[in-house]
Amino acid sequence: MRIAVIDDEKLTREELIRLIREDFPQAEVYEAGSGVQAMQLLEKKTFDFLFIDVRLGDMEGTTVASLARRLMPEAKIIFATAYSEYAVTAFELQANDYILKPYDPARIRQILSQYGQVRPEQNDDFRIAISGSRRHTILLRLDDITYIESQGAGKRCVIHTVSGESYDDSTALGVYEERLRSRRFYRIHKTCLVHLKYVQDIFPWSGSDFALRVRGSSVELPIGRDRLKGLRACLHI
């Protein structure tokens, strides 16, 4: 999930970003502090969500929203404003919703959950291609993968599956993290990306650290200290 937060008030912008990351730590969040910065950002990247302040310092947020709608018609546009009357303008521009300042955390959560939830069938249809020997390509369904770990210097990976089989792959772990960010995969450590669907238990491990096991495996996978809170949020525990 890639999100843009566009607001000329730094503290307000930072507050919204904090609320988003509390409940959606996997989200990739970008920010712009003016209309010009927003225009530059929209030309470089595409987004799933855009939170746009109605009144920016150098232009109207509606101008930014109009450009965003032309460039990325599938994006969800949410106006942020202190004035409820702007709701009419929002829907005239085919915006998906609006939020009022000061922000209500439950409202942010509701919007992102309503529009951003990954449907189960998406995982069923999505496959990744693994290049084997002699130009042999293996296609793996995401629902067959339990976790992916880096190998050696991190430029190669080993992909583990529910059947117990594993596959060597030349793709870097960071590439898989980016591709699978919105498909219920979470990087629990610099060396490991886990399919959240298969997390079986989380337990104390080596002093004050924690580790987890995935379903069907006895391997203990360490969780980075800076990743534990985000993992718990993803699992709603």
- The residues facing 99 across adjacent strands are 80
| Predicted local confidence at residue 128, as pLDDT | 81
**Which helix (H) or strand (E) element contains residue 115?**
helix 105-116
pLDDT in tens, the chain (237 residues): 899 999 999 999 999 999 998 888 878 899 999 999 999 999 888 898 999 998 898 988 889 988 888 888 888 999 888 766 655 666 566 678 888 888 888 888 888 877 655 443 444 456 788 865 566 778 888 889 999 999 876 578 999 999 999 998 888 888 888 878 767 899 999 999 999 989 999 999 988 899 999 998 999 999 999 999 888 888 877
Two tokens, residue 54: 């109605």
| Predicted local confidence at residue 93, as pLDDT | 62
The CATH homologous superfamily of the domain defined by 121-235: LytTr DNA-binding domain (2.40.50.1020)
Q: Left if phi > 0, otherwise alpha if psi is -120 to 50, otherwise beta: which for 62? A: alpha
Q: Which residues are CB-neighbours of 44 under 8 A, at least 6 positions away?
A: none
Q: Which residues of 23-43 are buried (b: 16+ CB within 10 A; e: fewer)?
A: bbebbebbbbbbbebbbebbe
Residue for token digits 């993968």? Answer: 145
Secondary-structure percent of the chain, ordered helix, strand, coil, rounded to 5: 35, 30, 30
DSSP β-ladder status, 156-161 and 97-100: unpaired
- CA 18 to CA 20: how far, in whole Å? 5
| Predicted local confidence at residue 210, as pLDDT | 95
Residue from 102, 69, 25 nearest 78 by CA:
69
Domain locations in the chain as residue ranges: 2-116, 121-235
| Predicted local confidence at residue 138, as pLDDT | 83
The CATH homologous superfamily of the domain defined by 2-116: Response regulator (3.40.50.2300)
DSSP β-ladder status, 2-6 and 49-53: parallel
| Predicted local confidence at residue 166, as pLDDT | 92
| Predicted local confidence at residue 66, as pLDDT | 86
